[in-house]
Structure 1
Amino acid sequence: MSLDAEPPPVVALVAEDEFLIRMETADTLADAGYKVLEVASADAALRYLQEKDGVDLLFTDVNMPGNLNGFDLAREVALHWPEIQIVVCSGAAKPGPGDLSPKARFIDKPYSAGLVEQVLRELRTV
Structure 2
Amino acid sequence: MLEGSSSIVLVMTDICMPGRMDGLKLAQVIWLRWPLLPVILTSGNRSIPDGMIPPHSFFLRKPWTLDALHQAVRKYLTA
* TM-score normalised by L of structure 1: 0.53
* Distance in structure 2 (CA, Å) of the matches to 1:98 and 1:83: 16
Q: What percent of counterpart residues are identical?
A: 29
Q: Compare relative contact order (CA 8 Å, sep 6+) and give the higher one, 1 or 2.
A: 2
Aligned positions, number: 75
* Distance in structure 2 (CA, Å) of the matches to 1:99 and 1:81: 16
* TM-score normalised by L of structure 2: 0.80
Structure 2 segments unaligned to the other structure (5+ residues): none
Matched, 1:95 2:44: no
> How far does residue 63 in structure 1 lie from its aligned partner after superposition?
0.7
The two structures, once aligned, show a CA RMSD in angstroms of 1.6
Say if 1:97 and 1:88 are closer, same or farther in 2 by CA, change over 3 A. same
Match of 1:56 in 2: 9
Name the structure where strand makes up a greater proportion of residues. 1
> How far does residue 97 in structure 1 lie from its aligned partner after superposition?
5.2
